[in-house]
Amino acid sequence: MNAALPPGAVIGIVGGGQLGRMSAIAAARLGYRAHILTQEPDGPAAQVAAGLTIGGYDDPAALRAFASEVDVVTFEFENVSVAGLDLLASLRPVRPSGEILRLSQDRLAEKAFLTGAGVPVAPYRAVTSADEAETALAALGGAAILKPTRLGYDGRGQRRVG
């Protein structure tokens, strides 16, 4: 079992968006400091964090500098580098693990995992061609949301079809 973080510990958050901002504010209320790794020096989380590292999510130098400033690492959205998290995990505890990120970065793998665990999911079909899309659309009742398997979030890259 892992020990609880002591008061004043630094939580490293990979990603500088809205969720990072909310997490940093919540951490401060609980007596922790948040240090953000972001590519955007003026992003939402950077505005409220106790510390900031500017760099890429897959840049080994930036990741090492970031890790040297924190006690534990988390991430605030699913499109960060899994390889970067693997490097961070060799230096600091990462929660949730990179394995969880690997799963959540691929919508089909995520749906298969949830279905296998007995969690209900919306009906879906994998499509890789226009013909498969037509077949899937017919099977789903003629209307659907077409989503990329990877790198889509907050509605980005999605289209209503049918």
Mean of per-residue pLDDT scores for the chain:
90
Convert the pLDDT of each residue in 29-71 to its tens digit. 999 999 999 999 999 999 999 999 999 999 999 999 999 999 9
C-alpha dist (Å) from residue 21 to 18, 40, 45, 116, 148? 5, 13, 4, 34, 27
> Is the pLDDT assigned to residue 151 strictly greater than 80?
no
Q: Which CATH number fits domain 107-161: 3.40.1000, 3.30.70, 3.30.1490, 3.40.50?
A: 3.30.1490
Q: What is the pLDDT of residue 63?
A: 98
Convert the pLDDT of each residue in 70-115 to its tens digit. 999 999 988 889 999 999 999 999 999 888 888 888 889 989 999 9
- Collapsing DSSP states into helix, strand and coil, what is residue 134? helix
> Is the pLDDT assigned to residue 1 strictly greater than 60?
no
For residue 129, what are its two tokens?
């061609």
Element containing residue 37 per DSSP (H, E): strand 33-38
Domain residue ranges of the chain, discontinuous segments joined by +: 10-104, 107-161
